[in-house]
A = this chain, B = another copy of it.
Amino acid sequence: MNTLRRTLLTSLALAVVSLSPLAAAEPPATKERLVIQVSDKDPQKWNLALNVAGNVQKELGAGNVEVALVAFGPGISMLTADAEVAGRVGEAITKGVAVEACANSMRAAKINKEDLAENVVVVPAGAVEIMKRQSAGWSYIRP
C-alpha cells in the first residue's frame, strides 16, 4: 500500500468517524417526554394536570414516556403536604412522574422543604427547568 492510498484510507476513516456526532444529534425517538406546567392556584387545574400525566402514561404505557410536572408561581401550593391533591401527587410520583417545586416560588410563598409532599424535588427555578427540558426535546403542556 503506497502513501497516497494510506492517506485516502485515513481520510475516509476520519470522514466516517466524524459522522458519529451528527448521528448522535438526531433525536433518539425512543421515548416520548412531557413536561407539565402548573402555575395557577386552582385545584381544578391541579387535577387536570394530574389527569394529563395519568392519561399520557395510560395511553403510551408508563414505560414509554417520561413525565415531569413543574409547579411555580401561585401553582406552588399544589405541592404542599396538606394540598387537597396531595394524595394524587403522591400516586403520580409512585407511578414515575417527576414532581418538581420551584425554590424561588417557595421562598415567595413561605413554603419550606418540610412543607412539601413526600418525594417532591426542589429545583432552583421552575421556569429554567421547563425551558431546559424543552430545549432537550421535551414537549410542553400547560393545562
User: A: which residues have CB within 8 A of B?
Assistant: 1, 4-5, 8-9, 11-12, 15-16, 18-19, 21-23, 25-27, 32-34, 37, 39, 44, 48, 51-52, 55-56, 58-60, 72-74, 104, 124-125, 127-128, 130-132, 134-135, 137, 139-143
Task: Please give, as numbers and ranges, the residues of chain B lying within 8 Å of A59 by CB-CB distance.
Answer: 124-125, 128
Beta-carbon nearest neighbor of A123 in chain B: B59
> Would you call B141 and A32 a contact (CB within 8 A)?
no
Task: Please give, as numbers and ranges, the residues of chain B lying within 8 Å of A8 by CB-CB distance.
Answer: 5, 8-9, 12
Task: Please give, as numbers and ranges, the residues of chain B lying within 8 Å of A141 by CB-CB distance.
Answer: 37, 127, 130-131, 140, 142
Partner of A131, one of B5, B9, B34: B34
Decide yes or no: A143 and B55 within 8 Å by CB, A4-B5, A34-B131 being known contacts: no
| Cα distance, A120 to B41, chains bound together (Å) | 30
Task: Please give, as numbers and ranges, the residues of chain B lying within 8 Å of A52 by CB-CB distance.
Answer: 72, 127
| Cα distance, A11 to B8, chains bound together (Å) | 11
Beta-carbon nearest neighbor of A73 in chain B: B48
Task: Please give, as numbers and ranges, the residues of chain B lying within 8 Å of A11 by CB-CB distance.
Answer: 12, 16
> Would you call B124 and A32 a contact (CB within 8 A)?
no
